[in-house]
Amino acid sequence: MMCCNAKLRSLPNVSIVLNAQTTEMLGNGQRLTGLRWLERGTALRHELAVDGVFVQIGLLPNTEWLKGTVKLSPRGEIVIDDRGQTSLPGVFAAGDATTEPYKQIVVAMGAGSTAALSAFDHLIRTPAGAAQAA
């Protein structure tokens, strides 16, 4: 079986650009016309005329500010269990910023419900005074 990478490379109408840092989207006020990128390593600048782009999600979640509060994975994802519970009792998380492996809208929405239900469950089991004191 031909691997997807090999298949992609075999296509005559595809150019693969690696180690590129996109720096600018160009437009004419009506639509996208091109993009600029830096060649990582050499810092050479390039420009390419394009009619469209597909933006791929980044790999690092914006969780710097949580460091030292809840446990984060080596990738910076908030570590949760199957109830959305983080390492800090009473703190629940959901969505792309967590260790949930599938970063999709429907998954994030379901996880949001799970976290909310778990928070509710946590609160009804917590004595009133304890919740306020925390």
Ligand X SMILES: Cc1cc2nc3c(=O)[nH]c(=O)nc-3n(C[C@H](O)[C@H](O)[C@H](O)COP(=O)(O)OP(=O)(O)OC[C@H]3O[C@@H](n4cnc5c(N)ncnc54)[C@H](O)[C@@H]3O)c2cc1C
Q: Could you say whether residue 36 binds ligand X (CB under 6 A)? A: no
Q: Which stretch binds ligand X (CB under 6 A): 9-17, 18-26, 43-51, 99-107?
A: 99-107
Rounded to whole angstroms, how far apart are CA atoms 78 and 96? Answer: 9
Which residues face 57 on adjacent strands?
none
Burial class (CB in 10 A: 0-12, 13-18, 19+), 93: buried
Give min distance, CB of 77 to ligand X, in A.
11
Q: How many CB atoms sit inside 10 A of residue 73's CB?
A: 13
Number of chain positions touching ligand X (CB under 6 A): 11
Q: Which stretch binds ligand X (CB under 6 A): 3-11, 12-20, 55-63, 122-130?
A: 55-63
Rounded to whole angstroms, how far apart are CA atoms 63 and 71? Answer: 11
Question: In what side-by-side order are the strands of the sheet with 32-39?
Answer: 20-27, 32-39, 45-49
User: Which CB, 45 or 104, lies closer to ligand X?
Assistant: 104
Q: Which stretch binds ligand X (CB under 6 A): 24-32, 77-85, 102-110, 124-132?
A: 102-110
User: In the complex, which residues of this chain contact ligand X (CB under 6 A)?
Assistant: 55, 57, 62, 65, 95-96, 103-106, 108
